């Protein structure tokens, strides 16, 4: 197969007219398909239904009455469960409410209002706060940074995680206060940070004493291919490197049980947990211990979680296989886009030719397929090359996904041909 960038204008125009016919046929189907957000499909939600009808007997866990106020840091058994998931100690875990994003927002909000444990001053008192954003990345991280008025600095992703040469250089600036990281099955590329990247991250020597790694381990147990592979524990890696308070690690059961009705947690040094507990005690008497208890009873331990995740994997794997099959057959042979083939997580990241992401998105929308907005994977929605698109295959049923991928591939071809013809 010939790469399209080596074809003559005449050949490209011929291809364009046949692709346009394909596209018009797609449009004629009147589809309404959504591949925009990383939501579990309803069959995945069904996997946890028994948790809702399970009897909790006495409502007592670890001798604690789960129906009443108290135990701000969370049930001991639930801290232990998350400690096993994250590979940390139970006293390094704080259990929060229904989701982890809220805890991430809270840590940043507290940095602004009160300062973090080692802050010389609350960030709100500073003229400028800068934050490192590995790109492409998770739009909601960037939204948190943007609501607080941070200046976001793009850090390119490599196959091993963020470009650590760039990170090490950037942290010499005392205004650089932190970095967003999704270390396992990154959103959107599905990249797993290498051991060397994790070591270098933990050993950073930032100029800001309160520089904070926001280690969002959202996909910590979310392999859909192969067995669970634990990541090195960032909390102890930071401690070993002499930076015990430099990291907050986040996780939740949103994509294990129920998004919006799961349990969120963070792990950090015992000192940071104590510091945060004091601040959080002003905003709540305690989180939902009944839900914490339900999760503990339902899973028991890490083995229980992993057994459950194998059921998710059985549903997810065929969907990712469809995405990759379509891209392999319909896009790759023409040299018009590249993509990763992740082994876990929720996304496939597609790199179109520069300048083609927005156009592909618009064409897909007109043909009834909603994708995450082009640019969403970059701070302030600005993808400098206009080339990244995030594909989220989990929500549509298999048959719909096939139709959506058919449309998407046609749209990538259309946008690429338009570009090549007009170049
Ligand atoms: N972090 C990442 C990287 C995500 O992709 C998502 C959801 O898509 C979340 C966090 C949201 O997690 P939670 O539901 O625990 O707030």
- Per-residue pLDDT of 381-418, as tens digits, reads 999 999 999 999 999 999 999 999 999 999 999 999 99
Residue bearing the CA closest to ligand 1, atom 1: 218
Q: Distance from the CA of 396 to the center of ligand 1, in angstroms?
A: 19
> What SS3 class is residue 423?
coil
Q: In what order do the strands lie in the sheet with 348-352?
A: 337-339, 348-352, 388-391
List the beta bridge partners of residue 95: 265
Atom of ligand 1 nearest to the CA of 347: 5
Q: How far is the CA of 128 from the centre of ligand 1 (A)?
A: 27
Main-chain phi, psi angles of 46, to 5 degrees: -60, -25
Q: Whose CA is nearest to atom 11 of ligand 1?
A: 101
Residue 395's pLDDT is: 95
What residues does 351 pair with on adjacent strands? 338, 388
Could you tell me the distance, in angstroms and rounded to a whole number, from the CA of residue 100 to the centre of ligand 1?
Answer: 7
What's the rounded Cα separation, in Å, for the pair 412 and 327?
10
Place of tokens 């549903």: 315
Residue range 312-330: mean pLDDT, rounded: 98
CA distances from 251 to 2, 30, 79, 86, 209 (A): 45, 39, 12, 8, 25
Atom of ligand 1 nearest to the CA of 216: 1
pLDDT, the chain, mean: 97
What is the position in ligand 1's atom list of the atom closest to the CA of 37? 8
CA 274 to ligand 1 centroid distance, Å: 25
Which mutation among 82, 254, 291 tests ligand 1's pocket best, with the greatest number of atoms within 8 A of CB? 254
Query: 57 falls in which pLDDT band (50, 70, 90)?
Result: confident
Give the number of other Cβ atoms within 10 Å of residue 79's Cβ: 26
Please choose from 36, 44, 96, 187 the residue to mutate so as to test ligand 1's pocket, defined by most ligand atoms within 8 A of CB.
187
Question: In a mutational test of the pocket of ligand 1, which residue from 138, 179, 262 has the highest number of ligand atoms less than 8 Å from its CB?
Answer: 138
What is the percent of the chain with per-residue pLDDT over 70, rounded to a whole number?
A: 100
Residues 116 and 287 sit within 8 Å (Cβ to Cβ): no
Please, which residues bridge with residue 133 across strands? 154
* Whether residue 2 has pLDDT greater than 80: no
**CA-345 nearest atom, ligand 1:** 5
Q: Are 93 and 132 in contact (CB under 8 A)?
A: no
Query: What is the whole-number distance in angstroms between the Cα of residue 213 and the centre of ligand 1?
Result: 16
* 248-268 per-position pLDDT tens digit: 999 999 999 999 999 999 999
Ligand 1 close to Cβ of residue 138 (< 6 A): yes
pLDDT reported for residue 1: 62
Which residue has the CA at smallest separation from atom 6 of ligand 1?
A: 218
Is the CB of 349 inside a 6 Å radius of any atom of ligand 1?
Answer: no
Q: State the Cα–Cα distance between residues 381 and 375, nearest whole angstrom.
A: 4
Please give the distance, rounded to the nearest whole angstrom, from the Cα atom of residue 83 to the centre of ligand 1: 19
DSSP class per residue in 205-247:
--SSTT-EEEEE-TTTT-BSSSS--PPP-HHHHHHHTT-TTSE
For the CA of 259, the nearest atom of ligand 1: 14
pLDDT value for 336: 97
Q: Whose CA is nearest to atom 5 of ligand 1?
A: 187
Q: Which atom of ligand 1 is nearest to the CA of 138?
A: 3
Could you write out the three-class secondary structure of 311-334? HHHHHHHHHHHHHHHHHHHHCHHH
Centre of ligand 1 from the C-alpha of residue 183, in Å: 13
Cα 101 to ligand 1 centroid, rounded to whole Å: 6
Model pLDDT, residue 37 = 85
179 has a pLDDT exceeding 70: yes
Q: What's the 13 CA to ligand 1 centre distance in angstroms?
A: 43
Q: Is the dihedral of CA 380, 384, 386, 392 positive or negative?
A: negative
Q: What percentage of the chain carries pLDDT values higher than 90?
A: 98
| pLDDT higher than threshold 90 for residue 58 | no
CB of residue 243 inside a 6 A radius of ligand 1:
no
Residue 353 beta carbon below 6 angstroms from any ligand 1 atom? no
CA of 121 to the centre of ligand 1 (A): 29
For 29-39, write each residue's pLDDT tens digit. 999 999 988 99
Residues 69-117: tens digit of each pLDDT? 999 999 999 999 999 999 999 999 999 999 999 999 999 999 999 999 9
Q: For the chain, how many helices (H) and strands (E)?
A: 14, 15
> What spacing in Å lies between the alpha carbon of 264 and ligand 1's midpoint?
10
CB 101 near ligand 1, within 6 Å: yes
């Amino acid at each position: 197969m010939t790469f399209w960038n080596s074809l003559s204008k005449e050949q490209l125009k011929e291809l364009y007219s046949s692709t346009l016919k394909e596209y018009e046929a797609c449009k004629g189907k009147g589809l309404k398909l959504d591949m925009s957000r990383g939501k579990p499909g309803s069959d995945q939600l069904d996997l946890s239904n028994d948790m809702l009808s399970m009897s909790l007997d006495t409502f007592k866990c670890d001798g604690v009455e789960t129906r009443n106020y108290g135990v701000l840091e969370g049930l001991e058994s639930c801290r232990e469960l998350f400690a096993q998931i994250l590979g940390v100690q139970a006293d390094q875990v704080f259990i929060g409410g229904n989701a982890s994003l809220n805890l991430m927002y809270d840590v940043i909000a507290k940095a602004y209002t009160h300062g973090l444990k080692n802050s010389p001053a609350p960030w709100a008192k500073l003229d400028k706060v800068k934050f490192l954003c590995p790109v492409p990345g998770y739009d909601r991280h960037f939204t948190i940074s943007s609501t607080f008025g941070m200046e976001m600095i793009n850090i390119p992703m490599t196959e091993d995680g963020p470009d650590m040469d760039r990170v090490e250089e950037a942290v010499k600036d005392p205004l650089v206060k932190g970095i967003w990281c999704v270390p396992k099955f990154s959103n959107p590329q599905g990249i797993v940070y290498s051991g060397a990247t994790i070591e270098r991250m933990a050993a950073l020597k930032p100029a800001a004493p309160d520089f904070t790694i926001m280690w969002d381990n959202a996909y910590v147990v979310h392999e859909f291919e192969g067995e669970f592979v634990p990541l090195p524990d960032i909390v102890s890696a930071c401690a070993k490197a002499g930076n015990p308070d430099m990291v907050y690690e986040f996780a939740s059961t949103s994509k294990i049980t129920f998004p919006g009705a799961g349990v969120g947690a963070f792990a950090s040094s015992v000192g940071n947990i104590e510091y945060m507990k004091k601040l959080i005690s002003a905003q709540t008497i305690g989180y939902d211990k009944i839900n914490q208890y339900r999760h503990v009873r339902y899973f028991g331990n890490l083995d229980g979680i992993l057994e459950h995740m194998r059921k998710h994997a059985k549903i997810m794997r065929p969907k990712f296989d469809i995405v990759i099959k379509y891209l392999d057959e319909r896009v790759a042979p023409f040299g018009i886009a590249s993509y990763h083939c992740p082994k876990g997580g929720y996304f496939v990241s597609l790199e179109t030719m520069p300048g083609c992401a927005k156009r592909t998105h618009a064409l897909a929308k007109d043909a009834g397929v909603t994708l995450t907005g082009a640019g969403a994977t970059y701070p302030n929605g600005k993808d400098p090359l206009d080339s990244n698109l995030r594909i989220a295959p989990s929500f549509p049923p298999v048959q719909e996904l096939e139709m959506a991928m058919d449309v998407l591939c046609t749209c990538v071809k259309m946008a690429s041909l338009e570009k090549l013809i007009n170049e």
